[in-house]
Amino acid sequence: MYIKDYSRRLGAIFFCFLLLLSLLIGRLFYIQFFKYAYLKNLADKQHNLFVELEPRRGTIFDRRLRPQAINIAVDSLYAVPKDIKNKEEIIAKLAALLKLDYAYLKNRIYRDKSFIWIARKISNEQVSQIKALDCKGLGFIKESKRCYPNGYLASQLMGFVGMDNVGLEGVELLYDSDLKGQSGWAVFLRDARQKKIDLSQGLVLPKDGYSLVLTIDEVIQYIAERELDNIYKTYHAKQGTIIVIDPHTGEILALANKPSFDLNDAAKADPEARRDHAVCDLFEPGSVFKIVTAAAALEEGKVTEEEKFFCENGSYRMASHVLHDHRPHGWLTFREVIQQSSNIGTSKVAQKLGPSILYKYIKLFGFGSTLGVDLPGEIPGMAKPPRFWSSTSIGAVPMGQEVGVTALQLAAAISVVANGGLLMKPYIAREIQDKYGETIKDFSPELINKVISLDTAQRLKEILVGVTETGTGKLAAIEGVRVAGKTGTAQKLEANGAYSHNKFVASFIGFAPADDPLIAVCVILDSPHPYYFGGVVCAPAFKKVATDVLKYLEVMPLEKPHFKENLVADAAR
């Protein structure tokens, strides 16, 4: 009986062990074939550290290879929340050091995560202060930060990047794909305590971004910004723009806007300051637009320089509208009509042309269409076809009313007269280089279309020289250099659609030297006061910009020793 009971007990124990073994084998089978992928992934996360390797964003240079945008190494703060013991104390100290909201930090440090960003790209002083806390659970990772050594210089043109070095505005945005490069990655082993072991499981090196060489010249940009800042403040303007362009190629040598902002603190800038008014805003140009009417009349053979027009002593009725000149004129030659900026004389010239021919030349000069400049946000302006004109449009359009233009379009238009009749595409990027300075892609001058003949351009050029010698633009004249240009003073529209009597856009467009133009300059000032005439407000700024640029380019004699070196030094500051 005892042996029988013993055998039965032994069989039961054996059966239990067999059942347990079967369950273990089944569990192992389940883990091996059904949970393998999940557990392997979990193990990889615990023992392998994946690190993204950030590429170096390409440098942006001016045309003489002076850096305008570079990268510097900075620290970013992260936390491992589970390793932070005295959380409330650390949150309070970090809030004071980083100027961050207490609730924001508390939300992040109390999260159940093994890694979380606290603050990106902080200052060296803040890094030192946080390291002094000697807090386990806080760490730093080196990152790259975009830096603009010239601060405010060409701010709207340059644009800026976001926290992750992605272009958000200006050329930083438009050429982001070339500048940003490609990220790499590395996988490192970690021990059971999650500490990194310097053993790499895999590595793909990042590909640095290409560098961008611009057409702008840092010194010419500085000259334009300096003079714009002067008239912007002196005449209490709402905004202003100065563009300097090579009339033969379309290369933009300087593009300045006011108000502006510090590129190194773009996040705090007012949206209006970040706006590139030179390409994004339209306005009625006023009398600077008369170069289109004059060019069309000469090209079509409708007038000669000495043909006379009666300017009605300053008051001329057209349909239901009375047209006025800024001061009364009797008989004027066509040359004098443009030089004295007579609205009445210009409207009579336009009547000889007719709406369809005038509109043809408006389009040939590039108005009402985008010019294709490599800057984001360019608008086409406004140029209505003749079928939408009213009975008074033939008097308004020729003198720059009922049309909307951009500052860049005006710079391109005056370049047509300067270069002999060609509309060139304005552009800002000269070439793209690799890190060794080898050219990957270059950008060449591009012809949009031929507008007028060389003979017409030469005849109109002489008329515009007269504007600065005996006409409305005498304050733009430069001693020893022949200058061609045109003044403009345009009434702004009120909310009710009527023209304002106290809000104006002042302008001057011109080029120098007139006989062999090197630069074309456009100066625009919105709502200047108490003075608002283009010949008074903008012409002197043109003179100062053109004078200093020609001296810098060594076309004019330098009156002061080391003039060029001083300009370069000032621009660098």
Q: Annotated catalytic sites, by residue?
A: 287
Q: Which two tokens stand for residue 288?
A: 């600077």
Q: Is the peptide bond before 271 cis (omega within 30 degrees of 0)?
A: no
255, 279 contact by CB (below 8 A): no
Distance CA 94, CA 262 (A): 27
Among residues 294, 297, 290, the alpha carbon closest in space to that of 401 is found at 290
345, 432 contact by CB (below 8 A): no
- Specify the pairing of strand 138-147 against strand 67-79: antiparallel
Measured in whole angstroms, the distance separating CA 66 from the mean position of its chain's CA atoms is 18
Adjacent-strand bridge partners of 117: 78
546, 509 contact by CB (below 8 A): no
DSSP string, 462-523: HHHHHHHHTSTTGGG-BTTB--EEEEEEEEEEPTTSPEEEEEEEEEEEEEESSSS--EEEEE
Adjacent-strand bridge partners of 324: 315
At 306, phi and psi to the nearest 5?
-100, 5
Sign of the CA dihedral running 468, 474, 480, 486: negative
Site of tokens 């992934």: 41
190, 196 contact by CB (below 8 A): yes
At 85, phi and psi to the nearest 5?
-85, -60
SS3 call for 190: strand
